[in-house]
Structures are given as C-alpha cells and as structure tokens.
A and B are shown apart, each in its own frame.
Chain A
C-alpha cells in the first residue's frame, strides 16, 4: 500500500478523462487526441489545483489503455540538478522505443516555468531532437514563464481557477465517498478558502475531518490558518511596520526550513504588493527593488541577501 491512498486528493484523483466532471472543453479536445492515437506537445497553464496534472495523467491512462508502465514519466523541472538530469533522463527514456501501435512515450514536466531560461533553451532542443519518440506535456502556473520558442511548439491549454460550484461538487463527492457528514457552513468555508484550487479544498476538508466523520464550519476555520499561513504577507507587513528583524526571521524560515525557492517568494511578494495599501511612491520604490532582486537572483545571486534588500525597501521611508 502506498502513501497516496491515505490522502484524499490522491485517492480520489480522476483516473480517466471520463471521470473529470468539469473542464468539458479541454476534455473533449484531449479525447480527440486519444481517439486519433496522436498527441502533440502540450502546455497546460493555470494556477495550482486546477487539474493540470490530473488531466495529463488521465490522458496518459486513456491513451495507453491503463497499461502505462514504462510509457510515461513524470519529472519535476524545478529540481536543482536542472537540465542535465532532464537530458539524461529523456535520453534514457526515449532510447527504447515502445512496441505498441502508439510509437511514442510521454514525459510530464511539472512546474516547468520554474526552469531557468538556459534550461528552457536546452529543453527546446531536447524536444526537437526526440520529437519522434517522446511527447512532452509541460505544466506551468504562468505562461509567460515559458520561453516563446517552446510555447510555439506546444498546443496550449488553459486551466482557470475552478468555479465555486465545481469546487463544492468536488468536495461533496469526496466527503460522500469517505462517509463524512458536513454542514453547509463547512462547505461554504472550504469553497471560500480554496479560491478555485481543488487540491486545497480537499486537503482542507481532510484536515478538518481529522479522524472524525464530521466536518463543521468551526473545524474548517481552525485548519485554514494552519494549512495556509500567509507567511509572505506577514513578512511584508512586519517589514512595513519597521520590524525588520521579525521579517528577516520569517524569510529565513521560508528559505531554509520550508525550502521555498527565491522565485516562489518573490512572485508571491509581487502579488501581495499590488494589493496592500501604501503610498504609491513607496510602492514604486519597493517594486523597483523587487525587480532588481528578481533579476539578480536569476543571475545567480543569493536569495537571502536579495530579498532582505527588498524587505529593507519596505521598511524604509521613500528615498528622495
């Protein structure tokens, strides 16, 4: 038995394209690929928990009629070892041609927008070189994180956040299968916290249930804060208040305890920054600092030094 059946998200992940209840348009197109027996390189773009991985896995399952062993591979593109690993893996993986009617294998690359530009250029050449034996499904949160030449070689599918109705349906379906009862308030709270992210919704539901067979609005509220602490937001408000020390401590936790990448933190800082209320000139100052930090991190500079500088910009008065 594996770990995955302990987690509802995995246990109830749709296995075939037919089991995917929403995303009709995408599913229809993917089914057409299955029917024709041919699949282009694809780019699935959308925020977390919107079904990119599920759709990719279901496609693979349908395409190979359930016997997927050795015919597809999942890779995490943001892995530190980067493009060399991918090159090796793809080479090995693509070398042995599958002996079915379907003459190619599928490689799913998760978080591919976290790859550096250099790595993406290399990936592009790999995609071309092995085009006849391997098809790529790239998963990404942001389309602009993928270089143009790769985008143009892929069929792009967009996965927007799920509608509240779909999140509600999805959660209730899982709760029913688990025999867990719920209150309307509990479901409302889950839908609100999940913001269109199905994985988040189901994780919250499972945490709120704990070992019990019942979830309430209260138990949901309790877990939301623990599961999804808005730490980057907290860090920003600490810096804004001038509590630079606490902000730096939080940064160290995010980087070294949680192991988040500089890019993830910077990205979240960027979106937080747009929504907080501060003097516009200050916002400009911080956005500038953020841009510099982004650039320098991309050039190999140190995450903590660079992000600390942005925190200092938040703590500082506007420079004349």
Chain B
C-alpha cells in the first residue's frame, strides 16, 4: 500500500507566522484586530485575490495565539444544520474552561445572493457572537454581501511580489532537494501573477517531470495563467495608461456591468484628480453617463466603445494623479438605504400632499423642515401622533420627521 503523497502546497504550508510571506500590513492589521477584539467588536473580513495566503494567515495566527479554530468553507456554510449545530453553539457558549475559539468562514463570496439564509445567519452571528469571527473572500464587493461588509472590519491582502515568491520557491526546492535555476523560478513567479499557491503548484509540476528544467521547457510547460483581472487592476490600468487606446482596452476588459463600471470610475476620479483637473475629468464622466443612459434606452450597444473612450478620457484628462487606494463606490454601498429612504419619504408625502394641498417639491423643501421644527415641541408632536391613525404613518412620521428621535427618547 503506497502512502498518499502530500502535494507540495500541503507539505510546505506555512506553520509559523514568519513563513507566511508578503502582506505584512495585513498580517499586522489582523493580529491587532484579534488582540483588541472584545464582544462589541466587529467581525473581520480578509479579502484579496486567490493564493495570497488568506486562509493560511488565519490558521497560523490561530495556532500562534492558542485559539481553537472552527473553520468552514462555502459548502459547509450553506448547510443550515451545520451552522445551527456546530457553529452557533461554539459562538454563543464561551466557557471559561475551554480554550479560546475563533470561527472562520472561508470563501464567503461563494455564497450566492439566493442563499440569503446563510447570509442572514452570518449577520445575526456577527451581532450575537461571543467569540471573534473572521471571514475571507476573493471578491467582497458582490452586492449581496454589502450588509456583511458594513459589519466587518475589512483587511485587504494583495498579490505577492515576484521576488517574494522566488524566495519561497527556492526554500521549497532546498527542502525537496531539487536543483533549480534562478531564471526558471522567476518565470514561474511571473506566470503566477502573485498567486503563491499557483506558483508552488507549477514548481511541483515542472520538477516532478524532470530533474533539470531549462527556461524553454518552463515557458512551454507553463501555460499562461489567465488570472481574471479584478476591478482594481482595471482602474490601475486606466489610471496609468498613456494613450486612449490603452486606457480603453483596460476599461473594456472589465467584467463589471457598464453602469457599475461608471460608478467605479466616478468614485475614483473624484479621489484621483487634483482640483485643477477635476472639471475636465468629470465632464467626460458626465458625458459617459448620459451616453450610457441613451445606449441602454435605445439598445444601441454598438456605441459602447464610445462609452469606454469617454471614461478613458476622464483618466487622461488628469496629467498628474493623486496617489490613492482605489475605493469601492460609496453610491453602490448607499444605494439600498437611499432607495428605502426615498420610498418612505414618498409614502409619507402622498399622505401629506392630500392633506396640505402642496406639491412634492414644496413638501420636501419647506414642509419637512417646518414639521421638524414644530415637532420639537412635545405638545405639537403628541397632537400629530394622535391624528395619525395608521401605524405605518406614525412610523414614517417618526423616522422621517423626527428622524427616529421618539424611539431614542423612550428607550
């Protein structure tokens, strides 16, 4: 019977914090967060491209600081019975006698928008948990994860630099007793595009076939790893592109829907541009915005390249750009809340418009501030509430006019 052989990735998985290479800022950030964690603290969300060490970081830190790690991946997180019977008890019963517990939900972006049970479970757990919760995701910007994003302390991890990968590969070669050429390691590192796991897999692939690998063999064997470019790289591409063509190429390779891409560009142009170039840059964004509305209204999708050109021009209109970390569009984050708020406003207004014979814009501009002012008076407020027979109306009056103050006062 042959002993099952561990892959190099498994075999050389880091066991100490020092062996986890790259992303020093994230390492420190995560440890700080864990050390300062108390019951009021949020959960943490480690996010970044595949193979940069999110899972391994959690595992190593847990063992170094003596946490018992309860780990679930996406398929387990989907199973309600597992969540209820294993995770929940662990999160809620902190015992003085057992060791510290850390709960880890890996690959949470693997949950789809339809799996709202699991997402709601996570949200509730974050609220009520008595132990730290950490999550990991490649793409934390999926719309259905927005509530989780709001609740979590975000820790970004980045692709690993080629030199760092080469160094790690060399250590593995030494441990495996493989003689390797520096240039080959470099090729592997470059092909991996910052994915350490992929690099180690490639290394094993190359050296399990033959003892000495030359550059040509390496190039031939390693098919180019087509890492899906994420939005941050797309924006980086557009930001540093020197020509319209290059910027357009970068933007149009995005897998974001055009309207989402517009949001990303709008948000980040605002940060990227020093004041003096903001106007010309935004003007292109504004043109792109209108063009896109017209394109989708008329289904004129053949005009989409012009949309990308206009967005590209926005970047090119800024000769010197601020150094910034690209940010997730705040408008997408706020969208849901804003829509809800406007809905409530409209609901309240449709009642008042009939009562007060005013139009919508007068109501919003004049009546709302006026009612707010008068409602500071207890007597007036009581009289209004007495006249609002409908519970929903009272609720709306409370949230829009009083901005929830009544509830605050009474609790």
A residues near B, CB below 8 A? 1-4, 6-7, 9-10, 13, 48, 53, 57, 74, 76-80, 110-111, 114, 139, 199-200, 203, 206-207, 210-211, 223, 226-229, 242, 244, 248, 256-261, 264, 289, 292-293, 296, 299-302, 304-306, 308-309, 312-313, 315-317, 319
In the A-B complex, the 8 residue pairs with the closest CB atoms: A111-B359, A110-B359, A316-B279, A301-B290, A312-B279, A296-B290, A300-B293, A309-B286
Chain B neighbourhood of A244, CB < 8 A: 275, 278
**Is the Cβ of A211 less than 8 Å from the Cβ of B377?**
yes
**Is the Cβ of B289 less than 8 Å from the Cβ of A315?**
no
Q: Does B346 contact A (CB under 8 A)?
A: yes
**Is the Cβ of B293 less than 8 Å from the Cβ of A315?**
no
Instruction: Across the interface, name the chain A residue whose C-beta is closest to B352.
Output: A3
**Stretch of B118-126, B137-145, B232-240, B364-372 with 4 or more beta carbons under 8 angstroms from chain A:** B364-372
**Is the Cβ of B275 less than 8 Å from the Cβ of A305?**
no
Q: Does B187 contact A (CB under 8 A)?
A: no
**Is the Cβ of B358 less than 8 Å from the Cβ of A227?**
no
Bound-state CA distance A305–B342 (Å) is 18
Q: Does B16 contact A (CB under 8 A)?
A: no
For the residues of B in contact with A, the DSSP-based class is: helix
**Is the Cβ of B341 less than 8 Å from the Cβ of A257?**
yes
Q: Which of A3, A203, A226, A248 has the most chain B CB within a 10 Å cutoff?
A: A3
**Stretch of B45-53, B95-103, B176-184, B378-386 with 4 or more beta carbons under 8 angstroms from chain A:** B378-386
**Is the Cβ of A110 less than 8 Å from the Cβ of B294?**
no
**Is the Cβ of A258 less than 8 Å from the Cβ of B356?**
no
**Is the Cβ of B342 less than 8 Å from the Cβ of A256?**
yes
Q: Does B5 contact A (CB under 8 A)?
A: no
Q: Does B409 contact A (CB under 8 A)?
A: no
Q: Does B11 contact A (CB under 8 A)?
A: no
B residues near A, CB below 8 A? 262, 266, 270, 275-276, 278-283, 285-287, 289-290, 293-294, 297, 331, 334, 338, 341-342, 345-346, 352-362, 364-366, 368-370, 373-374, 377, 379-380, 383-384, 387-388
Chain B neighbourhood of A7, CB < 8 A: 356, 370
**Is the Cβ of A315 less than 8 Å from the Cβ of B278?**
yes
Instruction: Across the interface, name the chain B residue whose C-beta is closest to A208.
Output: B373
Q: Looking at the complex, which one of B275, B355, B384 makes contact with A315 (CB distance below 8 Å)? A: B275
Q: 14 new A-B pairs (CB below 8 Å) besides A227-B366, A264-B361, A305-B289?
A: A1-B387, A6-B380, A53-B358, A74-B354, A74-B357, A78-B359, A203-B366, A264-B365, A296-B290, A302-B293, A312-B279, A312-B281, A317-B276, A319-B280
Could you show 20 A-B contacts with beta carbons less than 8 Å apart?
A3-B355, A7-B370, A10-B357, A53-B357, A57-B357, A74-B353, A78-B361, A110-B358, A114-B361, A199-B366, A207-B373, A227-B373, A248-B270, A260-B361, A289-B279, A300-B294, A302-B289, A302-B293, A304-B331, A316-B276
**Is the Cβ of B374 less than 8 Å from the Cβ of A207?**
yes
Instruction: Across the interface, name the chain A residue whose C-beta is closest to B351.
Output: A3
Bound-state CA distance A248–B354 (Å) is 33
**Is the Cβ of B360 less than 8 Å from the Cβ of A76?**
yes
Chain B neighbourhood of A301, CB < 8 A: 286, 289-290, 293
Bound-state CA distance A57–B266 (Å) is 46
Bound-state CA distance A18–B98 (Å) is 85
**Is the Cβ of B357 less than 8 Å from the Cβ of A211?**
no
Chain B neighbourhood of A48, CB < 8 A: 362, 366
**Is the Cβ of B364 less than 8 Å from the Cβ of A259?**
yes
The verdict on A2 contacting B387 (CB below 8 Å), with A227-B366, A227-B370, A305-B286 known, is yes
Chain B neighbourhood of A296, CB < 8 A: 286-287, 289-290
Bound-state CA distance A76–B357 (Å) is 9
Bound-state CA distance A48–B280 (Å) is 36
Instruction: Across the interface, name the chain B residue whose C-beta is closest to A268.
Output: B365
**Is the Cβ of A258 less than 8 Å from the Cβ of B364?**
yes
Bound-state CA distance A206–B266 (Å) is 44
**Is the Cβ of B370 less than 8 Å from the Cβ of A207?**
yes
Chain A neighbourhood of B338, CB < 8 A: 256
Chain A neighbourhood of B278, CB < 8 A: 244, 312, 315-316
Bound-state CA distance A111–B358 (Å) is 9
Bound-state CA distance A89–B365 (Å) is 26
Instruction: Across the interface, name the chain B residue whose C-beta is closest to A242.
Output: B275
**Is the Cβ of B285 less than 8 Å from the Cβ of A305?**
yes
Bound-state CA distance A229–B279 (Å) is 27
The verdict on A3 contacting B384 (CB below 8 Å), with A259-B342, A260-B365 known, is yes
Bound-state CA distance A292–B282 (Å) is 12
Bound-state CA distance A79–B342 (Å) is 12
Give min CB distance, A206 to chain B, whole Å: 7
Chain A neighbourhood of B387, CB < 8 A: 1-3, 6
Chain A neighbourhood of B280, CB < 8 A: 316, 319
**Is the Cβ of B359 less than 8 Å from the Cβ of A309?**
no
The verdict on A226 contacting B294 (CB below 8 Å), with A3-B387, A76-B353 known, is no
Chain B neighbourhood of A313, CB < 8 A: 279
**Is the Cβ of B355 less than 8 Å from the Cβ of A300?**
no
Give min CB distance, B81 to chain A, whole Å: 42
**Is the Cβ of B370 less than 8 Å from the Cβ of A258?**
no
Bound-state CA distance A200–B373 (Å) is 14
Bound-state CA distance A74–B278 (Å) is 45
Bound-state CA distance A57–B357 (Å) is 9
Q: Which of A6, A139, A228, A305 has the most chain B CB within a 10 Å cutoff?
A: A305
Chain A neighbourhood of B353, CB < 8 A: 74, 76, 110
Bound-state CA distance A242–B355 (Å) is 43
Bound-state CA distance A264–B365 (Å) is 10
**Is the Cβ of B282 less than 8 Å from the Cβ of A309?**
yes
Bound-state CA distance A77–B361 (Å) is 11
**Is the Cβ of B364 less than 8 Å from the Cβ of A260?**
yes
Chain A neighbourhood of B357, CB < 8 A: 10, 13, 53, 57, 74
Instruction: Across the interface, name the chain A residue whose C-beta is closest to B285.
Output: A305
The verdict on A256 contacting B361 (CB below 8 Å), with A289-B283, A301-B286 known, is no
Chain B neighbourhood of A257, CB < 8 A: 341
Instruction: Across the interface, name the chain A residue whose C-beta is closest to B296.
Output: A300
Give min CB distance, A211 to chain B, whole Å: 5
Q: Which of A13, A302, A315, A319 has the most chain B CB within a 10 Å cutoff?
A: A302
Give min CB distance, A167 to chain B, whole Å: 16
Bound-state CA distance A301–B282 (Å) is 14
Q: Which of B345, B346, B374, B383 has the most chain A CB within a 10 Å cutoff?
A: B374
Bound-state CA distance A53–B356 (Å) is 10
Bound-state CA distance A317–B380 (Å) is 49
The verdict on A6 contacting B383 (CB below 8 Å), with A226-B369, A317-B276 known, is yes
Bound-state CA distance A9–B363 (Å) is 13
